[in-house]
């Protein structure tokens, strides 16, 4: 059959240029993938919708945005020189510093030379005859590539709330993922914020420091634990720089690529005193230890999880003066750690302030956004500024927003509309040749740059194999996809989090069709994920169909 050489109604001949590989996204992942493909000597180009590098850290400029990962475990690990040159200011870096770091790396390695900014990808169509992807951008530009690498980020498709009247508010209104570059002064403003996820918890805490009045609209409360951030002293800086190999080795050995790993003991097998003492210790330590460095059973055994949740409930109650408000802040529909745990720096105390009001929208639902504010069933709350901290259509959402079509017009969005996305290792979708994903569904997740480094290293090996062997087409074998799907489901089954609605399980009440629990990550650990990838590479990539 003769394949048509058109994309939409335009001929394939009007592409501006052809590349060996096109990467979409100039965040930490896209830039590291660029670095690796440059090393292979490929003709590669990155397209980025923002006006500069940074990805997540470019877009999420909301007040209070900062790492929940230890800064020194987060960066690019490929350059010892960069590691030694860069001084992280804080153990958990604030967004401006993180963005400055990525910009510094971009300068140092001249990444921008290979990036086209202000290019939002709208369509990617496979052309079977030419064995290449035809990419169309929002400005009408079209490029083709042998390999198409979406490095979109699992949390880039931000979502506005499905509430009547959004857009009718007369004052400024910002989604946290599209925060303006100019500073916002809150001191003379009545501010309303919708959402109480990790983003909102950071933003609320920061905004409450200066705001005239803040109203928080909460649907589901989230468990949150103290971040315990601090400035890195000169002594610590020296120590960190000396220990980078050790730090990164540690990240390679943990289940989630953080420096924290579960304790081998079980909460249900130690005495109440031992349990309490351990939790007190974890609660007083910086970072995610309380979540991913806890007893081995707390995220899989309901009884253990209940004990931990009770412990966290006591902490909230001790920090919030009004117990009726504390009641509202304590999650009832999920246990601690079964959704991504926000880390906070004084969040609960915010509700002790006279100028902060918590509105539980289960009691008084929001009816609509009005020109003056937010109308609940109780009253109209008037604001000068509204903030939507309403999150993202996670993992598959960024793919859904691009018209991705494989052979014979096969639509990725339709393929992934229901149930489990069909992938092999999360790096290739079944039936989509030469599309090689970074942090697609069913890859291990945790400390993102470390996770994406593993994926990119695997992808780079795969691409090298292809070019070394003069191959022009790669897609995963259906049997490998099926086997991987079964493994992904089995790995998710024991986790309590698999039964809880969140972006991690693909649920988003603002997006049509996103109301069913799905397995979107690989939960068999980052270590296992890396080992499987290494075995596939050593075995000569037999899980793929080559041509
Ligand atoms: P999120 O966790 O999905 O939270 C969104 C919030 O908005 C939830 O409280 C949600 O309520 C609420 N919401 C959404 N639609 C609503 C509606 N129509 N009406 C009322 N409330 C609504 O999103 P996020 O806080 O942006 O965080 C997403 C992820 O980003 C995090 O889990 C984390 O992985 C990442 N993140 C990382 C950092 C960091 O590393 N420092 C910081 C921030 C975020 P329901 O819960 O009821 O749906």
Q: List the chain pLDDT tens, one digit each, 547 residues.
A: 233 334 444 555 577 899 999 999 999 999 999 999 999 999 999 999 999 999 999 999 999 999 999 999 999 999 999 999 999 999 999 999 999 999 999 999 999 999 999 999 999 999 999 999 999 999 999 999 999 999 999 999 999 999 999 999 999 999 999 999 999 999 999 999 999 999 999 999 999 999 999 999 999 999 999 999 999 999 999 999 999 999 999 999 999 999 999 999 999 999 999 999 999 999 999 999 999 999 999 999 999 999 999 999 999 999 999 999 999 999 999 999 999 999 999 999 999 999 999 999 999 999 999 999 999 999 999 999 999 999 999 999 999 999 999 999 999 999 999 888 999 999 999 999 999 999 999 999 899 999 999 999 999 999 999 999 999 999 999 999 999 999 999 999 999 999 999 999 999 999 998 999 999 999 999 999 999 999 999 999 999 999 9
Classify 19 as helix, strand or coil: strand
DSSP readout, 470-519? T---EEE-HHHHHHHHHHHHHHHTT-GGGGS-SGGGT--TTSTT--S---
Backbone φ and ψ of 528, nearest 5°: -65, -40
Would 104 be classed as within a structural domain?
Answer: no
User: Atom of ligand 1 at shortest distance to CA of 176?
Assistant: 26
For residue 275, with 0-12 CB atoms within 10 Å meaning exposed, 13-18 middle and 19 or more buried, which class applies? Answer: buried
What is the pTM for the complete model shown?
0.96
Within 128-212, strands assigned E span: 132-137, 142-150, 173-175, 190-194
Would 125 be classed as within a structural domain?
Answer: yes
Within 389-453, strands assigned E span: 403-405, 423-424, 428-429
The contacts of residue 365 (CB under 8 Å, 6+ apart) are: 376, 377
Q: How far is the CA of 508 from the centre of ligand 1 (A)?
A: 10
Would 545 be classed as within a structural domain?
Answer: no
CA distance 181 to 512: 31
Looking only at the bridges linking them, the beta strands covering 213-218 and 190-194 are parallel
DSSP 92: S
Number of domains in the chain: 1
Q: Which residues pair with 192 in a beta bridge?
A: 215, 386
Q: How far is the CA of 195 from the centre of ligand 1 (A)?
A: 6
User: Atom of ligand 1 at shortest distance to CA of 502?
Assistant: 3
Would 9 be classed as within a structural domain?
Answer: yes
Question: Kind and range of the H or E element at 202?
Answer: helix 198-207
Q: How far is the CA of 365 from the centre of ligand 1 (A)?
A: 18
The contacts of residue 265 (CB under 8 Å, 6+ apart) are: 278, 295, 296
Question: Kind and range of the H or E element at 73?
Answer: none
CA distance 115 to 120: 12
The contacts of residue 67 (CB under 8 Å, 6+ apart) are: 74, 92, 93, 94, 98
Would 465 be classed as within a structural domain?
Answer: yes
Q: For Cα atoms 264, 269, 273, give the angle at the middle one, nearest 5 degrees.
A: 100
What local confidence, expressed as pLDDT, does residue 10 receive? 54
Our mutation pick for probing the ligand 1 site, out of 90, 192, 197, 362, counting the most ligand atoms within 8 A of Cβ, is 197
Contact 27, 11 (CB under 8 A): no
CA distance 125 to 67: 36
CB 391 less than 6 A from any atom of ligand 1? yes
Would 153 be classed as within a structural domain?
Answer: yes
The structure tokens listed for 261 are 């790993």
Q: Which residues pair with 403 in a beta bridge?
A: 123
CB 200 less than 6 A from any atom of ligand 1? yes
Contact 118, 51 (CB under 8 A): yes
The contacts of residue 64 (CB under 8 Å, 6+ apart) are: 202, 203, 204, 205, 206, 207
Q: Which residues pair with 10 in a beta bridge?
A: 7
CB 196 less than 6 A from any atom of ligand 1? yes
CB 67 less than 6 A from any atom of ligand 1? yes
Q: Which residues pair with 135 in a beta bridge?
A: 124, 143
**What CATH number does residue 424 fall under?**
3.50.50.60
Domain that includes residue 402, residue range? 3-51+117-157+394-472
Would 236 be classed as within a structural domain?
Answer: no
The structure tokens listed for 407 are 């052979």
Classify the C-alpha dihedral 243-66-425-120 as positive or negative.
negative
Looking only at the bridges linking them, the beta strands covering 343-344 and 225-226 are parallel
Would 416 be classed as within a structural domain?
Answer: yes
DSSP 441: T
Count of positions (residues) in the chain? 547
Our mutation pick for probing the ligand 1 site, out of 225, 288, 391, 439, counting the most ligand atoms within 8 A of Cβ, is 391
CB 347 less than 6 A from any atom of ligand 1? no
Classify 34 as helix, strand or coil: helix
What local confidence, expressed as pLDDT, does residue 330 receive? 98
CA distance 388 to 166: 10
């Amino acid at each position: 059959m003769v394949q048509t050489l058109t994309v939409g109604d335009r001929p394939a001949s009007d592409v501006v240029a052809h590349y060996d590989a096109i990467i979409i996204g100039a965040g930490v992942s896209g830039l590291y993938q660029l670095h690796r493909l440059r090393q292979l000597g490929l003709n590669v180009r990155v397209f980025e919708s923002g006006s500069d590098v940074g990805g997540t850290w470019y877009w999420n400029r909301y007040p209070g945005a900062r790492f929940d990962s230890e800064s020194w475990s987060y960066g690019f690990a490929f350059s010892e020189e960069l590691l030694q040159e860069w001084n992280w200011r804080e153990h958990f870096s604030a967004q401006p510093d993180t963005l400055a770091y990525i910009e510094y790396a971009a300068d140092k390695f001249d990444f921008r030379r290979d990036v086209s900014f202000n290019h939002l990808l709208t369509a990617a169509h496979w052309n079977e005859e030419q064995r290449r992807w035809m990419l169309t951008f929002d400005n009408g530009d079209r490029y083709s590539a042998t390999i198409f690498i979406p490095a979109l980020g699992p949390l880039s498709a931000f979502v506005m709330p499905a509430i009547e009247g959004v857009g009718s508010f007369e004052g400024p209104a910002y989604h946290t993922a599209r925060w303006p570059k100019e500073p916002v002064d809150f001191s003379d403003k009545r501010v309303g914020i919708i959402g109480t996820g990790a983003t909102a918890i950071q933003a609320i805490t920061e905004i409450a420091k200066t705001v005239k009045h803040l109203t928080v609209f909460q649907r589901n409360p989230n468990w949150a634990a103290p971040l315990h951030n601090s400035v890195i002293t000169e002594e610590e800086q020296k120590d960190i720089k000396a220990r980078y190999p050790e730090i990164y080795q540690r990240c390679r050995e943990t289940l989630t690529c953080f420096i924290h790993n579960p304790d081998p003991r079980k909460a249900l097998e130690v005495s109440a005193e031992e349990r309490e003492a351990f939790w007190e210790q974890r609660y007083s330590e910086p970072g995610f230890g309380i979540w991913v460095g806890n007893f081995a059973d707390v995220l899989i055994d309901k009884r253990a999880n209940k004990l931990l949740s009770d412990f966290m409930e006591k902490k909230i109650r001790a920090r919030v003066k009004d117990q009726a408000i504390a009641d509202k802040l304590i999650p009832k529909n999920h246990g601690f750690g079964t959704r991504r745990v926000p880390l906070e720096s004084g969040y609960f105390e915010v509700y002790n302030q006279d100028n902060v009001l918590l509105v539980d929208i289960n009691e008084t639902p929001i009816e609509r956004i009005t020109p003056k504010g937010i109308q609940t069933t109780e009253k109209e709350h008037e604001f000068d500024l509204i903030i939507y901290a309403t999150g993202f259509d996670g993992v598959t959402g960024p793919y859904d927003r691009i018209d991705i079509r494989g052979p014979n017009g096969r639509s990725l969005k339709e393929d992934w509309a229901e149930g489990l996305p069909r992938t092999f290792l999360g790096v290739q979708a079944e039936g989509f040749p030469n599309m090689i994903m970074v942090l697609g569904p069913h890859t291990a997740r945790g400390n993102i740059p470390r996770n994406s480094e593993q994926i990119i290293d695997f992808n780079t090996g795969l691409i090298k194999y292809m070019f070394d062997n003069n191959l022009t087409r790669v897609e995963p074998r259906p049997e490998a996809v099926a086997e991987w799907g079964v493994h992904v489901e089995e790995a998710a089954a024991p986790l309590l989090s698999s039964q809880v609605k969140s972006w991690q399980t693909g649920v988003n009440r603002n997006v049509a069709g996103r109301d069913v629990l799905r397995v979107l990550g690989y939960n068999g650990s980052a270590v296992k994920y890396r080992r499987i990838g290494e075995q596939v590479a050593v075995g000569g990539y037999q899980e793929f169909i080559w041509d």
